[in-house]
Structure 1
Amino acid sequence: MSQRVRGVISRAKGAPVELTEIVVPDPGPGEAVVAIQACGVCHTDLHYREGGINDDYPFLLGHEAAGVVEQVGPGVTEVAPGDFVVLNWRAVCGQCRACRRGRPWYCFATHNAVQKMTLTDGTELSPALGIGAFAEKTLVAAGQCTKVDPAARPAAVGLLGCGVMAGIGAAVNTGGVTRGDSVAVIGCGGVGDGAIAGAALVGATTIIAVDTSAEKLAIAKRFGATHTVNAAATDVVTEIQKLTGGFGADVVIEAVGRPETYKQAFYARDLAGTVVLVGVPTPDMTIELPLLDVFGRGGALKSSWYGDCLPTRDFPLLTDLYLQGRLDLDAFVTEEIRLDQVEEAFEKMHGGTVLRSVVVF
């Protein structure tokens, strides 16, 4: 029998979000209903509200979430009622050409719940990233549920569902950062700080945080940055070279998604170094680089999709490291808020004063 719960929706481009009643159907084949315990307020949710993703309004926002499986549909074996899970937006299919090549983190046919959640008048909702977790309960594909240790704090490990995992994965999975490497991270929001934490976790010895905000640079040190560069006051490429013996960093992670910062990343890496783009550009952005420089500097230019993560592998591992005190996920949680404070959290994003506001149920 379907359930009525509270959820936060976006009805129209740029309009304030609304807390309203939504209808969550019983799970069908391959689906699960999850009672949400915590959900981070990610910039992607603001992109949905602003029409930056698509125009399939109304949206049910929220996607960085942890909770407890309440019901499962026919054929579900991955999870069972009572399991504590972190939700992911890339439930791998196991059948596409990427999965068949043994690279499921690139799955080209990820899936979501087939049924739709609705408003009480029957209007279908588009769940953000196929999740829609600014709600007391949500319907997802069972493959979007990853079991982790229930001893973990939901507000902290739920952030693995998007931004923090994107950052850690950009460093460790995409960039291949390893012990002794030098790393520069341009943009020290939640994703950038995740990349710094990931680089520190695997033993990078020089970790350079780059931002225009002195406050953000100070926070970056908490996650393992050994040096900081204020891009508002100095030349980024020159400073990174100075801090790496004049050569440039082995890996430069661009977590802003702008042409000018990407160019900084390109020229701030060492010969044969790696650039990782994890910041998300807008459709109108273009970049021009001398082709001879692309050839002459060698190395690799990579894009990182969701930190090239495999949730079934990475979420439990990072949760265990968190519980062991080796990965401070709590430091990403700036504040805990109520479900009716999401719009206020969006406003705080513009000021750059929070890493994550987290809705706690």
Structure 2
Amino acid sequence: MKPTDMAKEGAEMTEETEHMIEKNGEKETENVVPAGDAKEMRAVILSGFGGLNKLRVTKKAMPEPQEGEVKIRVKACGLNFLDLMVRQGNIDNPPKTPFVPGFECSGIVEAMGESTNGFEIGDRVMAFVNYNAWAEVVCTPVDYVYKMPDDMSFPEAAAFSINFVAAYMMLFEVANLRDGMSVLVHSAGGGVGQAVAQLCSTIPNVTVFGTASSFKHEAIKDSVTHLFDRNVDYVQEVKKISPDGVDIVLDCLCGENTGKGLGLLRPLGTYILYGSSNMVTGETKSFFSFAKSWWQVEKVNPIKLYEENKVMAGFSLLNLLFKQGRCGHVKTVVDKLFSLYNQKKIRPVVDSLWALEEVREQLVVRDISLNTSVMMSDWRVC
């Protein structure tokens, strides 16, 4: 799909999003609720790791910004596959329950702590949050907050941050995508997968191979060059088209796909692992699925990498931000992405919109299937 086509599709989806907002309640407003008018807020609480019965919407004390923090009245928050893994406890060092999930949101600056520069009350912003995004109000350090482009809607912004920043950094910072290269991306219908496809379309002559479940193919067939059912032997299908393999493999599945991805790499190619969704099956964490996926991972031999001139890498955006202190680097990437957005070369595609109270119905594997779902904190289910 050409950049202009992708932007057109994104614009059409945005119009549909705005129509849905109008249908389900009053038009989203930018009126700021004065700090101190309400001492409580609604939030989604995860009371324990496991099934959907561990999630509930309740009221809790509203946070106030500490030094260096921005208080945001949340308009929309992202709902990604990562959130499913969090619910099941399928992540490293999860926080103790109960807690509020969610890592990305968009909204309006309502207050600022001391030593906070660059923002004003009323600014439209998107932000990364180290949990706590699924609430009406969040406080997060100013280094994780970005002013939204004027034309970007709140649902778009909530679907933008994790997906596009991760896709950009893997393609350009880790794998050094250039003219004429080829990319294999798994879960091509997901939020990161679609961001990868759009970003690849900004570079001339890039071939994108994608795998996805068959029911997603109709919706995403124009966004990748070659699309395969994830349940077929995609290795042989790729080799039929490109006998010497591909330059970049982006793997969010893990398990047996690790060895397959390394095997498909050309010399000087880069394999990047950025997830392990094969370890998640069903509604709750399964030790059997985890063990099976782990033991399917091909043991990587450094000597073999050296002999074959291949690169193996890992990428975690949240660790980069919250554990490794690279927020300055990420801000530079966000600025580049906003430039591409303003040039109408990329545009997040919002799959669906939901009220906070509907999170139980949406945080299921089959529903985290296409792009990014967005929860609107302004909506209430009657």
Structure 1 residue 353, shift from structure 2 partner: 4.1
Displacement, 1:165? Answer: 2.5
AA paired with 2:246? A
1:267 aligns with 2:263: yes
Larger relative contact order (Cα-Cα within 8 Å, sequence gap ≥ 6): 2
1:206 offset after TM fit, Å? 1.1
Q: Deviations over 1:216-260 (max 9, x none)?
A: 3444434x3111122423x2222222222x11111111122x221
For residue 298 of structure 1, what is the amino acid of its counterpart? Answer: N
Deviation at 1:160, TM superposition (A): 2.5
Residue in structure 1 matched with residue 73 of structure 2 by the alignment: 35
Q: Deviations over 1:91-118 (max 9, x none)?
A: xxxxxxxxxxxxxxxxxxxxxxxxxxxx
Contact 2:63–2:137 (CA under 8 A) maintained in structure 1: no
- CA 1:76 to 1:149, structure 2 compared with 1: closer, same or farther past 3 Å? same
Counterpart of 1:322 in structure 2: which amino acid? Y
Corresponding residue of 1:108: none
Q: Residue 160 of structure 2 aligns to a residue in which SS?
A: helix
Secondary structure at the aligned position of 1:34 is classed as strand
Q: 1:103-155, CA deviations, whole angstroms, 9 ceiling, x for partnerless residues? A: xxxxxxxxxxxxxxxxxxxxxxxxxxx24121111111122211222331111
Matching residue's letter, 1:300: V
Distance in 2 between the 1:248 and 1:273 partners?
A: 9
- Secondary structure of the equivalent of 2:267? strand
Identity %: 22
SS in 1 for 2:209: strand
Q: Distance in 2 between matches of 1:291 and 1:61?
A: 37
- Structure 1: stretches of 5+ with no match in the other structure: 90-129
Q: What SS does the aligned partner of 2:143 have?
A: helix
The one-letter amino acid of 2:109's match is V
- Range that drifts further, 314-323 or 149-158: 314-323
Give the count of matched residue pairs: 313
Matches within 5 A, 1:234-313: 235-244=233-242, 246-256=243-253, 258-280=254-276, 285=294, 287=297, 288-290=299-301, 292-306=303-317, 310-313=329-332
Deviation beyond 6 Å, 4+ runs, structure 1: none
Q: Does the 8 Å CA contact 2:187/2:210 hold for their aligned counterparts?
A: yes
- Provide, for residues 163-218 of structure 1, a one-character-per-residue CA deviation record: whole Å limited to 9, x for no partner: 3422333222222112211111122222222222222223352111123x123344
Aligned-residue CA RMSD (Å): 2.4
Distance in 1 (alpha carbons) for counterparts of 2:131 and 2:301:
41
Amino acid at match of 1:334: D
For residues 65 and 293 of structure 1, do their structure 2 counterparts lie closer, same or farther at Cα, with a shift above 3 Å needed? same
Q: Note if 1:338 corresponds to 2:378.
A: no
Aligned partners of 1:209 and 1:220 also within 8 Å: no
The 3-state SS of whatever aligns with 2:363 is helix
Which residue identity does 1:304 align to in structure 2?
F
Q: Give the SS at the match of 1:321.
A: helix
- The answer for the alignment partner of 1:4 in structure 2 is 40
Return the alpha-carbon distance in structure 2 between the equivalents of residues 261 and 240 of structure 1: 14
1-structure distance, mates of 2:108, 2:335: 15
State the match for 2:13 in structure 1: none
Residue 47 (structure 1) shift = 2.1
Change (3 A) 1:228 1:25: closer
- Which residue of the partner structure matches residue 56 of structure 1? 96
Whether contact under 8 Å (1:30, 1:74) holds in the other structure is yes
Structure 2: distance between partners of 1:289 and 1:158: 36
Whether contact under 8 Å (2:214, 2:230) holds in the other structure is no
Deviation at 1:156, TM superposition (A): 1.0
- Which structure 2 residues correspond to residues 117-266 of structure 1 after superposition, within 5 A? 130-188=130-188, 189-211=190-212, 213-222=213-222, 224-233=223-232, 235-244=233-242, 246-256=243-253, 258-266=254-262
Paired residue type of 2:374: V
Residue type matched to 1:318 in 2? L
Deviations for 1:261-291, whole angstroms, at most 9, x for unmatched residues?
Answer: 1111101111221111122476852531455
Structure 2 counterpart SS, 1:39: strand
Aligned residue identity for 2:358: Q
**Partner of 1:127 in structure 2?**
none
1:18 aligns with 2:56: yes
Change (3 A) 1:352 1:13: closer
**Distance change (3 Å), C-alpha of 1:44 and 1:59:** farther
- Correspondence for 1:125: none
Distance 1:320 1:43 in 2: 27
Query: d(CA) in 2 for partners of 1:25 and 1:268?
Result: 49
1:12-57 CA-partner distances (Å, limit 9, x unpaired):
1223311111212321211111011111111222222222232511
Structure 1 partner of 2:336: 317
In the alignment, the residues of structure 1 paired with residue 265 and residue 304 of structure 2 have an alpha-carbon distance, to the nearest angstrom, of 12
Counterparts in 2 of 1:290 and 1:28: CA distance versus 1, 3 Å: closer
1:354 has 2:362 as partner: no
Distance 1:202 1:190, change over 3 A: same
CA distance change for structure 1 residues 293 and 146 in 2, over 3 Å: closer, same or farther? same
Q: What do residues 54-87 of structure 1 show as CA deviations (whole Å, max 9, x unaligned)?
A: 2511111222211111100111113222222111
Residue 221 of structure 1 aligns to which amino acid in structure 2?
K
